[in-house]
Every structure is written in structure tokens, then in C-alpha cells.
Amino acid sequence: MNFFESQDAARRKTSWLVLLYVAAVVLIVISVYFAFVGAALVVQGFARENRDVYSYTSGFSAFDLFWNEQTFIAVSAITLAIVLLGTLFKMIVISRGGAAVAQMLGGRPLSPDTNDPAERRLLNVVEEMAIASGIPAPPVYLLDDEQAINAFAAGFSSADAVIGVTRGCMQLLNRDEMQGVIAHEFSHIFNGDMRLNIRLMAVLHGILVIAQIGYLLVRSCTQTARRTYARDRGGDPRGFLIVLGIFLIIIGSVGVLFGKLIKSAVSRQREYLADASAVQFTRNPSGIAGALKKIGGFIAGSRLETPRAEEASHMYFANGLRLSFMQLMATHPPLADRIKRIDPSFTGEFKQVYPEAGGQMAEASTAAAFAGQAGGQARFAARPGEIVEAVGSLKPEHLDHARQILALIPHGLRGKCREPYGARAVVFALLINNEQEIETEQLNYLSKTLDGPALQETLRILGDLRALPAQCRLALVELTLPALKRLSQIQYTEFASVVDALIDADKRCSLFEYSLRRMFARHLDPTARQSSLARVKYKSLAPVADSAVLLLSTLSHAGAQSAEQAAQAFASGCEILFPQRTVSLLPPGDCSLRKVDDALRELLFATPAVKQQLIMACSACVITDGQITVDEAELLRAAADSLECPLPPFLSVG
């Protein structure tokens, strides 16, 4: 199953989830009504000696109470409102994305510039996986108080995704095992599971809130109910509320059961897929298998201690709750089954694991792979079908490529990318033009805008950057994003203003500059939240045909040296996207970057199948001659990222 099929499958599961939710809500509404009736009958039975008690129940026969239209409408409306408000409340709470889930579970964000060896090893693994897969490194949250081995990915999209890791996972796993776990979580990001899982949290909260109200009623009324009953046998409605609360707890338990069944139905098979993807990504079955074996042999296993563990139980790498007596309700497949699928020789016996640090990190040292390319313009050979297949996936070669890129970047420069002050200087240096006249103008602007230390930092970094191959540019931008996300609203506004001024200094926007702008708009702009919450609006190409034509026209002009080449590139894309109709290439003047941004925002709301066609057509546009330059590759990857289709780096270097 490729990226687009996985996204479609997740979307269909979302629709199925809505049906299950509606069915559960209907049953809960009916159950609450009969709980109300039952509570009234129980209390009325105890209060027969005083027929004036509970004016709202006296005068009705048992049959009247079991079916009273007005009572049913009132109780159903209140119950439905409570369930929907519970869901809405949780949706608002988690609308910030994965960070809200991680903080709910007690996680703290790891600083990108941490010096702690174990934390640094974890962040390096995440950075490698991010560069290999073509998405910015997600922030990492450490669950300090959790000694078990577990992890999760949470968020609506790669723009607001986070990786959560328990302290036990960080300390007990060696580097290969950690890489297997992180690859598993990245698979959830690619396959659409992450968005489905976070929406499932909100949906189930509305169902579970009934039980919480029952506990609240019982707890708040039991303290005074006995005294009230002694004074007036049945004259206080608290007795009714206690009985109703008990019924609601019972009904809430049914809601919990529904929640477990829904989570199990949604997540179990996805765990097998994520395990297989992790093996595919790393080409190292022993990594993820070793992590699962350590869970089986560790006294704490994968069980989380936080009282909020149940809410996110379907998100974890392994079962985060106490083992259920009913495997039907387990959110994860049995540990032994998962291991045997990866390692058929596994006997089912787990070696005991003791709390001691895992293996040390082994850094790649393959900088020679790109030696001699710093001053040249590398080109990549590819075909449209290969590019589409690469979306949302990666090969072990991509991890090798990521290690090579990271090895090329000096250690000090990587450190600058990991803290906000240095990350800003890296971006400013990346935007300084090689042409002397434009460079002078940009430096004059920076000298007037930045303070002395910031200017000197930018100039120092500039020397390091110009010695690097062009392929490192986008990786450097991706490395800066976690640090830049820590900027305040005011700091980000000032930073964005400087970026715009540096780009506009030469009165034109290069492909790299546009790619950088698109990445910042998607991943950093606090107002650009719609991509994380994007819902499918267009199920065919027809409603977004104009936006698609604009995107193809822009890509065709961007990589062409003449009008003839642009027309040829455009025709290649249209053969894929519009095989049955004649479409005209838009002139360069109609392909402004602002219009392209608007087009990408519109195309974002298309189905995965439509996006697959778009990526195929865009790829055909930029590789009409059979090769892609670094600039064209960066532009194509930025456009794919804007469509929430992460595209790994190109591997074939010519």
C-alpha cells in the first residue's frame, strides 16, 4: 500500500469512525433515558409512603414513565448536548496539535540544542529520519516520569506533529532499536494514522464524559444524602441524583467498552503495517524486533503510569495499559505476534531487561560521498512514477543519504541550527546572494536591522555555508525549523520581515527562495493552521483544474530556458493530468508566486487520489529532459510538502 492508498484508507476509516460514533451516541442516549426512568422508579418505590415526594415522578404509572415523549425528548436533548460538548471541548483542547497530547501525558519538549548525551542521541535519530523522509524534524517530548518503554506520534499533519518518548525508551534502547521505534512512529505520520488517532481522542471523550458525570453526581451527593434521608425520608432529590449517578457510571462503562472496541478496530492492523514499514525504512529487522523484545523482558513493560494514559492508548508504540482480560479490546496486537512477523525465529521467550543505558550512538562519517560537489550544480535522474512511489515512504538509501548530508554539515553549524538565535542567522546566511552587488545591498540592510552580535554570527555562518554542496541547503532549513518554532509571535514577525527583505533584494525570487518561503509558511506561520485541519472538499480534479493549470504553468516556466522548453514541459504534465482536453500554458506574467500560494492552498483540500495525479504531473513538468536540478528538486519537494505529501530527497546524483 503506497502513501496515497494509505491516506485514502485512513480517510475511509474516518468515515467508518463517524458511523460508529453515531451508533454509540444513539445507544447512550437511549440508555441514559432508561437510566433516568429507572432511577425515578427506584426512588419512587422508596418514597411510596410520601406521595408528595418528587413532584416530577408522582402521578405517573410505571408504563407512563417507561415511555413518556416529553421526558424522552428532554433527557435525549440534554444527553446529546453533553456528549457533543464533551467532544467539542476535547477538539478545542487538542486543536494545537501533537504538543497538546504530549503535554497532557506529562511530556516536556526536548531542547534542540540539549547537551545531555541520551537526549542528543534521540534527537539525532529523529533528525536523520526527518531528513531521509522529507519532512521537518518534529519536536520531541520526553515523558520523564515514565520508566516503561513506549513512544507515540501525535498531530494532525507533519506541520504540527510531535514524537513522544518515555524515559525508559530513551535509556534502555540502543541506537538501532531507537531507530526502529522512531521509524515506526514516522510510518504513522505518513500513513494518515496520526490524524485519525488524534480525532479519535476527541470523538471518544464525548462518549466517556457520561461516566465522568456519573462519578461527579455520586461523589458530590453521597456526603449529604444519609443526613438528608434521616431528616426527611425521601424529601431531598439527592437520593435520586445518587441513583441516577450510579446508572450513569454503568452506562459510562458501556461507553468505555465502546471506546475500547472502536480503538481496537481502528489501530490493531495499523500497528502491523507500521512495524513492516519500519523494517522497510531501516532495512534492519533486529532494530524494531529488539525494542519489542526488551518490552517483553522489562518489568515495567510498556505500561504508562499517567492517569491520562487511557485517552491516548491507541497512539502508543506498544500497549500502554494493563493487559486486558479480553484481547478483543486490546489496542495493540500481542507482543509475540508482532515479533514473529518481523523475526520468524523468535521462540516466545523474553530475556529479562534491567534498567541500564542502551548502546551509544554511532555517527556516520561519510562526508566523502558528496566530495567535490560543493561548487557544482548536481542533477538527479528520476521518472514521474518513481517520484510518486517515493512520496510518504523512504528506503534505507534515504537514511544513508541523510547521514551523509549530516556528516557534511560541520558540527558547530548543526549546533547553530538547533537554537533560535543561531537558526535565524543560518537562514539569513542562506539567503545572501553570491552576486557582489546584491550581497552588498543585503549586508547593508542587515547591518541596519540586526544588532552587532547577530550580524557577526550571520557572517561567520556565511563562510561555512558557501563551502557546502547545494544539496545541504534544504536539509539545513529543515534542521532550523524545530528551533524557529520556539520563536514568539513578535520574534517570528520580525524574523519573517528580514527574510522577505533579503529575498526581495534582487527584485526576483529564486526557486530555492520560494521553496524556503513555502516551508516557513506551512510550518512556522502561527496563522497558517488550516493545513493541519484540512478536510477533503474536492473528490475530482474538475473543481480545482484552474489551480492545477497555474501550478503546472509555474513549474514549466521555472525549469525552462526558453518558451519552447516551457511549452514542452507543460505538455508533459498535461498528458497526465488532462489527457482528454486541450489546456493552454499560462504566460509567465500570470504565474505570480502569490497566485501559486493560493493554488496550493486550494489543492490541499483535494483527495489523495487527486494529489497523486498532481504530483505525477508536476514531476513530469520538471523532468522533461530526464533530469532534475537541485533547484527544481527543492521546488518540487516544497510543492509536495504544501499538499501534505512528504517527498524524500532525490538519490540518483549525476
What pLDDT, in 10s, does the model give residues 195-206?
778 877 877 777
CA–CA dist 628, 613 (Å, integer): 19
Residue range 43-82, pLDDT digits in tens: 666 555 444 444 444 555 555 556 777 778 887 888 888 8
Instruction: Let me know how long the chain is.
Output: 654
pLDDT value at 307 more than 80? yes
CA angle 119, 474, 530 (to 5 degrees): 85
Query: Distance between CA 189 and CA 481 in Å, rounded?
Result: 18
pLDDT band at residue 3, thresholds of 50, 70 and 90?
low
**How far apart are the C-alpha atoms of 4 and 392, rounded to whole Å?**
8
> Could you tell me the pLDDT band of residue 561, with boundaries at 50, 70 and 90?
confident
Alpha carbon distance 62, 493 (integer Å): 67
Q: 157-160 long-range contacts, Cβ below 8 Å, gap at least 24? A: 157/195, 157/531, 157/532, 157/534, 157/644, 158/189, 158/641, 158/644, 158/646, 159/97, 159/522, 159/523, 159/531, 159/532, 160/96, 160/97, 160/98, 160/99, 160/532
Q: What percent of the chain has pLDDT over 70?
A: 79
Give the confidence band of 243 by pLDDT, cuts at 50, 70, 90.
low
Higher pLDDT, 306 or 204: 306
Q: What's the one-letter identity of residue 198? A: I
Burial of 354 (0-12, 13-18, 19+ CB in 10 A): exposed
End-to-end CA distance of the chain: 30
Within 10 angstroms of residue 605's Cβ, the number of other Cβ atoms is: 17
pLDDT at 39 (0 to 100): 67
Mean pLDDT of 481-487: 87
Domains and CATH numbers, the chain: 3-98+197-269 (no CATH), 100-190+271-276+290-325 (3.30.2010.10), 408-525 (no CATH)
Q: Are 387 and 627 in contact (CB under 8 A)?
A: no
632 is catalytic: no
Q: Would you place residue 224 in the very low, low, confident or very high pLDDT band (cuts 50, 70, 90)?
A: low
**Strand residue runs (E) in 149-200:** 151-154, 162-166
Each residue's pLDDT tens digit, 492-525: 889 999 999 998 888 877 778 888 888 888 888 7
Query: In a 3-state reduction of DSSP, which class is residue 207?
Result: helix
| The pLDDT of residue 290 | 93
Q: What is the pLDDT of residues 179-199, one digit of tens each?
A: 999 999 998 888 777 877 887
Q: pLDDT band for 12, please (50, 70, 90 cuts).
A: low
Rounded distance between C-alpha atoms, residue 481 and residue 173, angstroms: 27
pLDDT at 311: 81
Rounded to an integer, the average pLDDT of 550-558 is 86
Q: Which residues pair with 140 in a beta bridge?
A: 163
- What is the pairing mode between strands 379-381 and 151-154? unpaired
- Alpha-carbon 141 to chain mean position: 13
pLDDT over 70 (residue 304): yes
**pLDDT for residue 222:** 67
Cα distance between residue 206 and residue 80, in whole Å: 9
pLDDT, position 323: 62
Residues 128, 177, 185, 644: which is the catalytic one?
185
Q: Are 289 and 350 in contact (CB under 8 A)?
A: no
Span 625-646, mean pLDDT?
Answer: 78
Q: Is the pLDDT of residue 294 over 90?
A: yes
What is the predicted pLDDT for the residue at 148? 93
pLDDT digits (tens, 9 = 90+) for 356-401: 644 444 443 333 333 333 334 455 556 677 777 777 777 777 888 8
Query: Residue 617 in contact with residue 595, Cβ under 8 Å?
Result: no
**Three-state secondary structure readout of 63-83:** HHHHCCHHHHHHHHHHHHHHH
Q: Residue range 148-172: average pLDDT? A: 91
| Whole-number pLDDT of residue 288 | 92
Mean pLDDT of 171-184: 93
In single-letter form, the type of residue at position 105 comes to: L
Q: Which of 49-58, 347-356, 627-636 has the lowest average pLDDT?
A: 49-58
pLDDT of res. 61: 52
Longest dimension (CA), the chain: 100
Backbone angle region of 150, left / alpha / beta, with phi > 0 → left and psi within -120 to 50 → alpha: beta
Tell me, what's the pLDDT at 365?
36
Q: How many CB atoms lie within 10 A of CB 348?
A: 9
Cα 517 from Cα 557, distance rounded (Å): 19
pLDDT of residue 179: 92
Cell numbers representing residue 106 in the block: 506529562
What pLDDT was estimated at residue 234?
A: 47
Q: What is the mean pLDDT of residues 3-13?
A: 62
Q: Name the residue with higher pLDDT: 260 or 335.
A: 335
CA distance 104 to 640: 32
Quick one: how far is CA 283 from the chain centroid?
Answer: 24
HSE toward the beta carbon, residue 494, CA cutoff 13 A: 12
- Residue 132 pLDDT grade (very low, low, confident, very high; cuts 50, 70, 90): confident
The least confident of 191-195, 250-254, 395-399, 584-588 is 250-254
Mean pLDDT of the chain: 79
b/e per residue 624-635 (b: at least 16 CB within 10 A): beeebbbbbbbb
